[in-house]
């Protein structure tokens, strides 16, 4: 059985949590492969909204097993809070949630280092979620990190101490004022580790290999979006992991020839949270309408998201880099009411028309070139089948399919599980 992937194609917040939740009935295992608690995957059903950060979005389905893969970075304190929030649902967490021994741990001092690094950058700051993601991946690639499997060794506290001491020296190197009480932070950290150690740790690459061999259906769940990929995103305004399809191979230990469908998710418009270039960003009433109707606030930080028209140049790039085989268009309902919709189909790059993403997409280099389409007025949120969708929305969908050369299989018309139209 091949492993299917589900990835965000823009700057994150496309709605991966909702779609994984919707698709989980088709899968036996949901496996997160990168990122950490910088993610906020929102799921809504039975009138309740749930936000997951590290735990895979299949957790609410009785039959699905959820795996946190080796490519993920875990903050035990946030993880414990997520587990606490799940307690009222009586899920058998020990049986439903396994963690890779090779996943790295976010220490309290990683979070402090993140804050110090951002503060030292001043106006050039990345706009990080300040969850310690960058410093943790730096320790991973620098071969200094602590892994979940280390917690099973008797000397893990010494390892922790030596790394935390090093971090404290590094924090003092930054010439910024970061106030903290490490003893307090460590108390929470050690308490949370005690709870984390109650869970099942596995060698996830071996587990997934055997699961695949025995015919289990596996869905790899991405976090953030392709344009935040450490290699292919809008560097340096990116996250610190590979958010693109290749990240599923390294973040789970799945061989490239074992990848099946690549499901790419995008919003019918574009959003971005944090700093960095965004060619189709709107600073007018249209952008405000998207933000208001789409409730565009970060699920992890609560920060307002920047909004703009759909950027097809960037979307095509993501489709190619990931080898997307199926598309899912989210938040079509948010665009209801616009007379005219704009789609960026090319860039004016230093006076020349181009249709690919150049090295540098800062506003001084790139101006979007738009095609216009007629909008739709209908309220989509109660629609349940493709034949109910207005003709102008169908024209929008068909235009995108033609440009991207990939079918749009799902159109989402609201945040709830049920507001999902399959085509």
Q: Which is nearer to ligand IMP, 193 or 227 (CB)?
A: 227
Please report how close the Cβ of residue 271 comes to ligand IMP at its closest, in angstroms. 8
Residue whose C-beta lies closest to ligand IMP:
274
Angle between helices 391-404 and 312-322 (to 10 degrees): 50
Q: Which is nearer to ligand IMP, 129 or 419 (CB)?
A: 129
Q: Which is nearer to ligand IMP, 239 or 242 (CB)?
A: 239
**What is the set of active-site residues?**
13, 41, 140
Residue 300 known to bind ligand: yes
Q: Which is nearer to ligand IMP, 75 or 396 (CB)?
A: 75
Please report how close the Cβ of residue 289 comes to ligand IMP at its closest, in angstroms. 21
> CA-CA distance, 375 to 65, in Å (whole number)?
41
Q: How many residues bind ligand IMP (CB under 6 A)?
A: 21
Tokens matching residue 208: 């997934």
Told to check if 260 binds ligand IMP by CB under 6 A, we report no
Told to check if 54 binds ligand IMP by CB under 6 A, we report no
Q: Which residues in 215-244 contact ligand IMP (CB under 6 A)?
A: 223-224, 228, 237, 239
Please report how close the Cβ of residue 134 comes to ligand IMP at its closest, in angstroms. 5
**Which listed residue (24, 42, 117, 129) binds ligand IMP by CB under 6 A?**
129
Told to check if 82 binds ligand IMP by CB under 6 A, we report no
**Which listed residue (108, 134, 251, 415) binds ligand IMP by CB under 6 A?**
134
Told to check if 294 binds ligand IMP by CB under 6 A, we report no
Residue 351 known to bind ligand: no
Residue 24 known to bind ligand: no
**From 19-27, 131-139, 350-358, 359-367, span contacting ligand IMP (CB under 6 A):** 131-139
Q: Which is nearer to ligand IMP, 35 or 76 (CB)?
A: 35
On the 0-12 / 13-18 / 19+ scale of CB atoms within 10 A, 302 is exposed
**Which listed residue (131, 263, 306, 331) binds ligand IMP by CB under 6 A?**
131
Told to check if 273 binds ligand IMP by CB under 6 A, we report yes
C-beta of residue 311 within 8 angstroms of C-beta of residue 279? yes
Give me the sign of the Cα torsion angle 300, 304, 310, 311: negative
C-beta of residue 204 within 8 angstroms of C-beta of residue 98? yes
Q: Which is nearer to ligand IMP, 113 or 397 (CB)?
A: 113
**Which listed residue (5, 6, 10, 13) binds ligand IMP by CB under 6 A?**
13
Question: Annotated binding residues, as ranges?
Answer: 12-18, 38-42, 129, 143, 224, 239, 299-305, 331-333, 412-414
Question: Annotated binding residues for GTP, as ranges?
Answer: 12-18, 40-42, 305, 331-333, 412-414
Binding site for ligand IMP (CB under 6 A): 11-13, 38-40, 126-129, 131, 133-134, 223-224, 228, 237, 239, 273-275
């Amino acid at each position: 059985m091949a492993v299917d992937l589900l990835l965000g194609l823009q700057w994150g917040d496309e709605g991966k949590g909702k779609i994984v939740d919707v698709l989980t009935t088709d899968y036996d295992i949901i496996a997160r492969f990168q990122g950490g608690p910088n993610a906020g995957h929102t799921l809504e059903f039975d009138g309740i909204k749930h936000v997951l950060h590290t735990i895979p979005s299949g957790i609410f389905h009785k039959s699905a097993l959820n795996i946190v893969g080796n490519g993920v970075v875990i903050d035990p304190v946030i993880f414990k809070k997520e587990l606490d929030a799940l307690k009222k649902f009586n899920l058998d967490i020990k049986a439903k949630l396994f963690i890779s021994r090779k996943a790295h741990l976010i220490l309290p001092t990683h979070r402090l280092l993140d804050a110090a690094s951002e503060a030292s950058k001043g106006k050039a700051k990345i706009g990080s979620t300040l969850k310690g993601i960058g410093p943790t991946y730096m320790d991973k690639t620098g071969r200094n990190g602590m892994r979940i499997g280390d917690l099973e060794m008797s000397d893990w506290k010494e390892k922790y101490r030596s790394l935390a001491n090093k971090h404290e020296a590094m924090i003092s190197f930054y010439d910024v004022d970061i106030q903290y009480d490490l003893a307090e932070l460590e108390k929470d950290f050690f308490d949370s580790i005690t709870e984390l150690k109650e869970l099942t740790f596995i060698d996830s690459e071996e587990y997934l290999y055997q699961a695949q061999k025995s015919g289990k259906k596996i869905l790899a769940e991405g976090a953030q979006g392709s344009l935040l990929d450490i290699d292919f995103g809008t560097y340096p305004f990116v996250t610190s992991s590979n958010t693109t399809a290749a990240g599923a191979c390294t973040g789970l230990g799945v061989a490239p020839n074992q990848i099946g469908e690549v499901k790419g998710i995008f919003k019918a418009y574009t959003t971005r949270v944090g700093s960095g270039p965004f060619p189709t960003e709107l600073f007018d009433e249209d952008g405000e309408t998207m933000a208001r109707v789409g409730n565009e606030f970060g699920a992890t930080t609560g920060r307002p998201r920047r909004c703009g028209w759909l950027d097809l140049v960037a979307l095509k790039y993501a489709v190619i880099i990931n080898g997307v085989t199926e598309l899912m268009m989210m938040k079509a309902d948010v665009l209801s009411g616009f007379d005219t919709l704009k789609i960026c189909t090319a860039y004016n790059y230093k006076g020349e028309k181009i249709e690919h993403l150049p090295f540098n997409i800062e506003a001084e280099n790139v101006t979007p070139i738009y095609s216009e389409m007629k909008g739709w007025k209908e309220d989509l949120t109660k629609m349940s089948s493709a034949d109910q969708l207005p003709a102008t929305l169908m024209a929008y969908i068909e235009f995108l399919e033609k440009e991207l050369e990939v079918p749009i299989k799902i159109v989402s018309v609201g945040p709830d599980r049920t507001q999902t139209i399959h085509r």
